[in-house]
Structure 1
Amino acid sequence: MLLDDLDKRILQQLQQDAALTNHALAALVHASPPTCLRRVNRLIDEGVIARQVAILAAEKIGPSLTAIVEITLDHQASERQTEFEQLVAHESAVQQCYRVSPGPDFVLVIQVADMPAYHALAHRLFATQSNIRNVRSFFSTLRSKFETRVDVP
Structure 2
Amino acid sequence: MARKPATARPALDRYDRAILEIVQRDNKTPQRAIAEAVSLSTAAVQRRIAAMEKSGVIAANVAVVDPDAVAATITAIVEVQLRDERAATSDRAKDLFRNTPEVQQCFYVTGGISFVLIIVAPNMPVYEGLTRRLFAENELVVGFRTLVALDRVKAGTAIVVP
TM-score by length of 1: 0.96
Q: Which runs of 5+ in 1 are unaligned?
A: none
Identity %: 33
In 2, the alpha carbon distance for the partners of 1:132 and 1:38 equals 47
In 2, the alpha carbon distance for the partners of 1:140 and 1:65 equals 7
Aligned length: 153
Counterpart selection for 1:99 from 76, 83, 108:
108
Q: Which runs of 5+ in 2 are unaligned?
A: 1-9
Q: Cα RMSD (Å) of the superposition?
A: 1.0
Q: Once superposed, which parts of structure 1, at least 4 consecutive aligned residues long, lie more than 3 Å away?
A: none
After superposition, the C-alpha distances for 1:78-100 in whole angstroms (9 at most, x for unaligned) are: 22111100011111000000011
Paired position in structure 2 for 1:136: 145
In 2, the alpha carbon distance for the partners of 1:145 and 1:125 equals 26
In 2, the alpha carbon distance for the partners of 1:75 and 1:117 equals 28
SS of the residue corresponding to residue 135 of structure 1 reads strand
Counterpart selection for 1:61 from 48, 67, 70:
70
Cα deviation, residue 127, structure 1: 2.0
Amino acid in structure 1 at the alignment position of 2:102? A
TM-score by length of 2: 0.91
Counterpart selection for 1:127 from 116, 131, 136:
136
Do residues 71 (structure 1) and 87 (structure 2) align? no
After superposition, the C-alpha distances for 1:59-117 in whole angstroms (9 at most, x for unaligned) are: 12225100000000111112211110001111100000001111210000000001000
Amino acid in structure 1 at the alignment position of 2:29? L
Paired position in structure 2 for 1:13: 22
